[in-house]
Chain A
């Protein structure tokens, strides 16, 4: 068994929590060491955070002005330049890792595993397919390194009690100039938590009836510090924008608490939430399929239940 290389996800200042989850995945099977590579314009601070992750052997810090934005076309050849020393190369299964890791794999002429959720030996892996409706057990057979993205919802973050060495390195790699970073805008200037990574999500369905009534969902969500989601039916009816859609063709999420209001529970919606910690359903139709997977169900008209819920929450605080 060889060494594991993890590509750090960061914004130039802070290491993203997804990296600590990749470390836990790597530590879940026997290996000869776990290294993290920090590609950055100035990676001093991020490298220190990476070195503090328990289980990490060494942090390789590669500073280059071109690395200021995480562009796959620019980062991939640098990861490839390090690959020869490793049996496994991991990135997180976030938009960052999903963009980068397949490019790394193809340059190395090997395949890639997406969304690794379990492995005991670093050779046989489990991963979800069909939006989590099935789980594959796959074995890799390759002379090259195993390149994979790690499903962050499946692993706890590594502790920050480590003290790995930090090694600054320069790589002789020619980088392409055909890809340029222009800007990063926050999610529509929204102060609400990001739907994809929020710990709590409140979603509304077609039963809300119109866009104005959706305010009821926003009020509860804001009170709970939750992100707002919606069923495809609510999106198709024009109550909210497309980017709030939760489900197989929208966002697949795994918050600790998911509250589905006025959502009947079409298959395509249920597959987007089945990894949630606790699912609460509020629906006036006791036969709605959402109750089949809900942990806590309340059969009630949302137009009376939501104001009452908000009032009780406020009174108790």
Chain B
């Protein structure tokens, strides 16, 4: 039974649209290797997936729709035409339509936020849900920047979400524990791990997804401010840990830890 069935105060007047951003990233199970020339991380031929936090964002949107609280879910991705794979996966999970904002170059978060803001102006969603960060750049910025440019509230690192009467009650995972805030719609929500567990895609849904709309918009149509602020000089592997020692038994382990002042 859903929370909305139990609680009569939760309205059933649905929102029109939820926009979910999906980033194509190196799959989290792939070992990250840095190019020896310092130019970047090896991606050639590597398995790419939807950023795990974005997958959680889409799952949450789908659950909101299954509760009858939204009519349409749009998934959007920024990048090359390869991102269509991830958008098709999003459609197979249950999104209604997809938009690829086509660009050959990686975008800094501020540029990404500007582009999504321009799309928000076209589509007027009630809610935008994004992962709190992508597992490649680990920036954790785009949602907050979108909220700032849109002049709307943000609920970041969310682990529980209730929508009622134009207000989102969000439980946020903060260092001190769990913070509950209320934000008025339209708003930006970014997801943390505990929000939900994304569903698996079923084969018939993959077939059905092929018939759903996937529009391609050139980046330049949405923004002209694409100049990057940061120049990457090099990408290095982190300093490696020194070879450790193997102890023979538990007493030696305790002795070693005591000698190092660790216990």
**Contacting residues of chain A (99-158) with chain B, CB-CB under 8 angstroms:** 99-107, 109-115, 124, 128-142
Q: Which of A30-38, A41-49, A203-211, A242-250 contacts B (4 or more CB under 8 A)?
A: A242-250
**Residue A312 contacts which of B138, B139, B251 (CB distance < 8 angstroms)?**
B251
Contact string against B for A residues 266-304, beta-carbon threshold 8 Å, 1 for contact and 0 otherwise: 111001001001111010000000010111111110000
Q: Does B34 contact A (CB under 8 A)?
A: yes
Known pairs A179-B153, A243-B173; A139 contacts B179 (CB<8 A)? no
Q: Does A196 contact B (CB under 8 A)?
A: yes
Nearest Cβ distance between residue B71 and chain A, in whole angstroms?
Answer: 23
Q: Do B29 and A267 touch (CB < 8 A)?
A: yes
Known pairs A95-B174, A102-B144, A312-B250; A132 contacts B238 (CB<8 A)? yes
Q: Does B260 contact A (CB under 8 A)?
A: yes
CA distance A277 to B257 in the complex (A): 12
Q: Does A233 contact B (CB under 8 A)?
A: no
Smallest CB-CB separation from A99: which chain B residue? B156
Q: Do B237 and A106 touch (CB < 8 A)?
A: no
CA distance A116 to B224 in the complex (A): 29
Nearest Cβ distance between residue B42 and chain A, in whole angstroms?
Answer: 10
Q: Do B246 and A291 touch (CB < 8 A)?
A: yes
* A-chain residues with CB within 8 Å of residue B144 when the two chains form the complex: 72, 98-103, 106
Known pairs A115-B138, A134-B236; A242 contacts B193 (CB<8 A)? yes
Q: Which of A21-29, A58-66, A164-172, A182-190 contacts B (4 or more CB under 8 A)?
A: A182-190
A contact face: mostly helix, strand, loop, or mixed: mixed
**Residue B175 contacts which of A140, A181, A196, A224 (CB distance < 8 angstroms)?**
A196
Q: Do B235 and A135 touch (CB < 8 A)?
A: yes
Q: Does B217 contact A (CB under 8 A)?
A: no
Q: Do B263 and A298 touch (CB < 8 A)?
A: no
**Residue A138 contacts which of B177, B187, B232 (CB distance < 8 angstroms)?**
B232
Q: Does B154 contact A (CB under 8 A)?
A: yes
User: Which of A96, A101, A110, A134 has most B Cβ within 10 Å?
Assistant: A134
CA distance A291 to B241 in the complex (A): 11
Contact string against A for B residues 221-259, beta-carbon threshold 8 Å, 1 for contact and 0 otherwise: 000000001111111111001101111011101101100
Q: Do A99 and B157 touch (CB < 8 A)?
A: yes
* A-chain residues with CB within 8 Å of residue B151 when the two chains form the complex: 176
* B-chain residues with CB within 8 Å of residue A248 when the two chains form the complex: 28, 135
* A-chain residues with CB within 8 Å of residue B19 when the two chains form the complex: none
**Residue B52 contacts which of A71, A111, A249 (CB distance < 8 angstroms)?**
A249
* B-chain residues with CB within 8 Å of residue A52 when the two chains form the complex: none
Q: Do A267 and B110 touch (CB < 8 A)?
A: no
Q: Does B201 contact A (CB under 8 A)?
A: no
CA distance A242 to B118 in the complex (A): 35
Known pairs A103-B145, A106-B110, A115-B138; A179 contacts B234 (CB<8 A)? no
Interchain Cβ contacts under 8 Å between A and B, 23 examples: A72-B144, A73-B154, A95-B157, A95-B175, A102-B144, A102-B145, A104-B148, A106-B149, A111-B108, A112-B109, A113-B230, A114-B139, A128-B238, A130-B138, A133-B32, A136-B234, A138-B231, A142-B229, A182-B180, A185-B179, A257-B262, A266-B29, A298-B246
Question: What 6 pairs across the A-B complex have the smallest Cβ distances?
Answer: A106-B148, A102-B144, A133-B32, A106-B145, A102-B141, A182-B180
